[in-house]
Amino acid sequence: MTSDNRTVQYLEPMESKEAVGRAAELFVDTFRTAPAGVWSAPGRVNLIGEHTDYNAGLCLPIALPHRTYIALSPRKDRLVRLVSDMGNREMTTVDLEGLEALGVEGWAAYPAGVAWALREDGFAGVQGFDAAFVSCVPVGGGLSSSAAMTCSTALALDDVYDLGFGGTDAGRVKLIDAAKRAENEMAGASTGGLDQNASMRCKANRALLLDCRPELDAVQSAQQEPFNLGALGLELLVVDTQATHQLNDGQYAQRRSTCEEAARILHVDNLRVTADQIAASADPFQALKETLDALPDPTMKKRVRHVVTEIFRVRSFVRAFASGDTVEAGRLFNASHDSLAADYEVTVPELDVAVDVARHHGVYGARMTGGGFGGSIIALVEQGSGRTIAQAIADEFAHRGFAAPRALPVAASDSARREA
Ligand code: GLA
């Protein structure tokens, strides 16, 4: 270790009791009255199935123990007053009256956008609210800090305005729609539904096998897969590279529209249909080749190859994991990253270096997680070896002059809930 290297930092999740107290305190300090309640929603790690959600594909997230807490009270008017410990703790006010899509700047677009979306969806009883946020989900870490914010807001509004959706999985799907609309239409990030589904539907010790075909109902769209790494002698390492990641800067939307254009050319509703056709053919390799041959542009071919093969990898990963085949599960992690780097082109040097270092330290497999362009990596590692690998990544980052990465302890955790 050289002298500029430091012990890798671990970002521990906040204890629920402490976080609830802090959110309530921030609320009282700001609004001079007690909140009606406190709710929380987790960030997520997607195990595999990247950039498949908006292609009606498959993904496999778990919820993090890192959560965003919201202390909230309803208001009788249409004002939304917000404060957060993630920023400068100054109050921001948004008026829902006459609010239009993209009408709010900055982070307030996310929570205000949820109330706006619910009202747009016909829930006119939803009025303004006061809210204080406290969070330990790293912002820009590719771990869905925005979904943790929109989903905690949606659940809180559901509760105080008696919408009756939060108690069932099918109901939560409605709240997910509002959270996603807030992100797409108010914050201008054209993301799919992976993050919001993870934050609202994941269960402790389970991975959520999410099928994003729009025609499926709540029951058909989600399967809870056992996720017990300890039983396999494994640990999941999560490292936030601290390379900034933003999904509303055009790159993400560009990937999405290339896929939509490809689907048009292939005369299908979405690339999931293509993936299913290929999987069902007598010779899938040949079918994939013919599909790619039908596309006009080399970049588009690469994007489609990623989406189709990534959907296949999700299925294979679920099978491998269920049968305890950690070597195959790790190989699929590696293949997913390589496809995201070479075909989907959403990695950055920090992600590739972190993955490379992990692979050189004997992990089963390592990959970026989330949208890319920065954010976090995950690695399937032998139990007890995570810290050494995280340190090796931190050392290499210091050597290259990258910002110091930080690791997160993980366990598959519970979805959004009322805390107090
Ligand atoms: C981001 C988006 C998700 C999903 C992933 C990539 O996290 O918010 O909808 O598209 O990228 O899998």
CATH number of the domain bearing residue 45:
3.30.230.10
Query: Which of 186, 211, 227 finishes a domain?
Result: 227
Contacts of 122 (CB under 8 A, 6+ apart): none
Is there an atom of ligand 1 within 6 Å of 53 CB? yes
Residue 116 to residue 349: CA distance in whole angstroms: 38
Is there an atom of ligand 1 within 6 Å of 370 CB? yes
Say if 414 falls within a structural domain: no
> Are residues 206 and 306 part of one domain?
no
> Are residues 118 and 132 part of one domain?
yes
- Is residue 195 annotated as part of the catalytic site, yes or no? yes
pLDDT by residue, tens only, the chain of 420 residues = 444 568 999 999 999 999 999 999 999 999 999 999 999 999 999 999 999 999 999 999 999 999 999 999 999 999 999 999 987 889 999 999 999 999 999 999 999 999 999 999 999 999 999 999 999 999 989 999 999 999 999 999 999 999 999 999 999 999 999 999 999 999 999 999 999 999 999 999 999 999 999 999 999 999 999 999 999 999 999 999 999 766 657 899 999 999 999 999 999 999 999 999 999 999 999 999 999 999 999 999 999 999 999 999 999 999 999 999 999 999 999 999 999 999 999 999 999 999 999 999 999 999 999 999 999 999 999 999 999 999 999 999 999 999 999 999 999 999 999 999
Three-class DSSP category at 276: helix
Is there an atom of ligand 1 within 6 Å of 386 CB? no
> Are residues 320 and 190 part of one domain?
no
Say if 73 falls within a structural domain: yes
Which residue lies with its CA nearest to atom 10 of ligand 1? 51
- Selected catalytic residue, list 195, 211, 240, 343: 195
406-408 and 58-59 strand pairing = unpaired
Query: Which of 211, 227, 243 finishes a domain?
Result: 227
Domain that holds residue 320: 230-409
The tokens describing 17, both together, are: 């009791």
For residue 177, give Cα distances in angstroms to 182, 324, 359, 419: 9, 35, 38, 23
Pocket test for ligand 1, best of 194, 197, 252, 260 (most atoms within 8 A of CB): 194
Is there an atom of ligand 1 within 6 Å of 153 CB? no
Is there an atom of ligand 1 within 6 Å of 61 CB? no
Amino acid symbol at 135:
S
Query: Which of 178, 210, 227 finishes a domain?
Result: 227
> Are residues 234 and 221 part of one domain?
no
CATH number of the domain bearing residue 241:
3.30.70.890
Say if 321 falls within a structural domain: yes
Say if 214 falls within a structural domain: yes
Is 234 within 8 Å of 372 (Cβ atoms)? no
Instruction: Specify the number of domains making up the chain.
Output: 2
Is there an atom of ligand 1 within 6 Å of 371 CB? yes
Residue 293 to residue 303: CA distance in whole angstroms: 13
Say if 418 falls within a structural domain: no
Which residue lies with its CA nearest to atom 5 of ligand 1? 371
> Are residues 370 and 235 part of one domain?
yes
The tokens describing 6, both together, are: 């430091």
Say if 131 falls within a structural domain: yes
Say if 181 falls within a structural domain: yes
Say if 419 falls within a structural domain: no
Residue 386 to residue 410: CA distance in whole angstroms: 11
CA of 194 to the centre of ligand 1 (A): 6
